[in-house]
Amino acid sequence: MKNHPDRRHKWYVLGFYLLLFAVWQLVFSLELAPDYLFPSPLQVARRLTELALDGMLWPSIKTTLSRMAIGFTIAAGIGLLIGLLMGVSRIVNGCLKSLFLGFQSLPTAAWMPISLLLFGLSDHGIYFVIIMSSVAAIAISTSDGIHRIPPLYLRAARTLGTPAYAMPVRVILPAALPGIVTGIKLGWTLGWHGAVSAELIKSSVGLGYLLYMGRELNDAAQVLGIMMLTILFGLLLDRFLFGLIEQRIRRRWGLAGES
């Protein structure tokens, strides 16, 4: 009952996507371009089904996701640790902040050449790209989150007798959690870019590889289909996993509950 306006909002979104597909189909039926260059939504769906039936699709998705799971876990660990150091030490922050902002301005694909040089065509290179793409965002958001901790929490912690060694785990990291989740979310998106870009060049399995193969075979339906899947998985995890966690934390921390 209470969610009524919210639910109606969802219908609008659904309507928007239906409209998008309808326009796509309409443009297709105008026959402005040959259909091997500009396929219809139906052709894309058919190609994806074929790939799935050939047993190409699911292993690819699984591979990309599991590469992300491993690479991103490592990136999050490193990013959190560096972010914590940046958060508590002005000197570390001064040194690393500009470096990491610089990293963030680098397109993820720009990590590819160095990855090829360092790791050749092995899988390690893909992890390298994922980590390098996401670690800076996580570290910067973590340190920003720590710098934005209301001083009141730190004073409360001290008056309650928290020893210095216990501060990071008991107070600083939890108090910075809203900033940290934002960083994790952003880092996931950047890491996802990195993973798919890396697979374009280095892999023989994965979503990026299917994209690359589609181009090699002049198969626009496959390219569009895999692009859509990449968007879908990126979006699903961003909105529905990290997004929901972020929202819950912001509500609990008494921060504005905008969605």
Partner 1 sequence: MDPHPPDAAAPEASPAPVKLEFSEVAKSFEHDSQTVAALRPVSLRVHAGEFVVLFGPSGCGKSTLLNLVAGFETPTSGTITLDGKAIDGPGNDRLMMFQEHALFPWLNVIDNVMYGLRWEPGFRFRPHARRRKALELLHLVHLDEFAKSSIHELSGGMRQRVALARALAPDPKVLLIDEPFPALDALVRAKLYIELQDILVRTHKTIMSVTHDPREAACLGDRVVIFTGRPGRIRSEVRVDLPRPRDINSPEVAEHAGRINAQLEAANEEPSGSEA
Please give the single-letter amino acid code of residue 109. Answer: A
Instruction: Quote the tokens at residue 151.
Output: 């001083």
Residue 137 or 171 with smaller CB distance to partner 1:
171
- Residue 177 neighbours by CB distance under 10 Å: 19
Gap between the Cα atoms of 162 and 174, Å rounded: 14
Residue 90 or 251 with smaller CB distance to partner 1:
251
Q: Which of 5, 31, 254, 259 binds partner 1 (CB under 8 A)?
A: 254
The minimum distance between CB 175 and partner 1, in angstroms, equals: 7
H or E segment and range at residue 41 = helix 41-53
The reply to whether 252 sits near partner 1 by the rule CB under 8 A is yes
Residue 5 or 254 with smaller CB distance to partner 1:
254
105-164 residues in contact with partner 1 (CB under 8 A) are: 152-153, 155-156, 158-163
Residue 44 or 181 with smaller CB distance to partner 1:
181
The minimum distance between CB 176 and partner 1, in angstroms, equals: 10
Q: Which residues contact 148 (CB under 8 A, 6 or more apart)?
A: 176, 179
179 and 144 Cβ atoms separated by less than 8 Å: yes
Q: Site size for partner 1, by CB under 8 A?
A: 20
Assign 243 to helix, strand or coil.
Answer: helix
Range in contact with partner 1 (rule: CB under 8 A) among 134-142, 165-173, 193-201, 238-246: 165-173
Residue 103 or 153 with smaller CB distance to partner 1:
153
The minimum distance between CB 93 and partner 1, in angstroms, equals: 23
The minimum distance between CB 139 and partner 1, in angstroms, equals: 21
In the block, residue with structure tokens 């026959």: 31
Residues 51-70, one symbol each (x = binds partner 1 by CB under 8 A, - = not), give --------------------
166-225 residues in contact with partner 1 (CB under 8 A) are: 166, 170-171, 174-175, 177
Residue 41 or 168 with smaller CB distance to partner 1:
168
**Buried/exposed code over 195-233 (b: 16+ C-beta within 10 A; e: otherwise):** bbbbbbbbbebbbbbbbbbbeeeebbbbbbbbbebbeeb
Residue 13 or 160 with smaller CB distance to partner 1:
160
Phi, psi of 31 (to 5 degrees): 55, 50
Gap between the Cα atoms of 192 and 190, Å rounded: 5
Closest CA to 72 of 238, 202, 187: 187
**What does the binding site for partner 1 look like in residue numbers (CB under 8 A)?**
152-153, 155-156, 158-163, 166, 170-171, 174-175, 177, 251-254
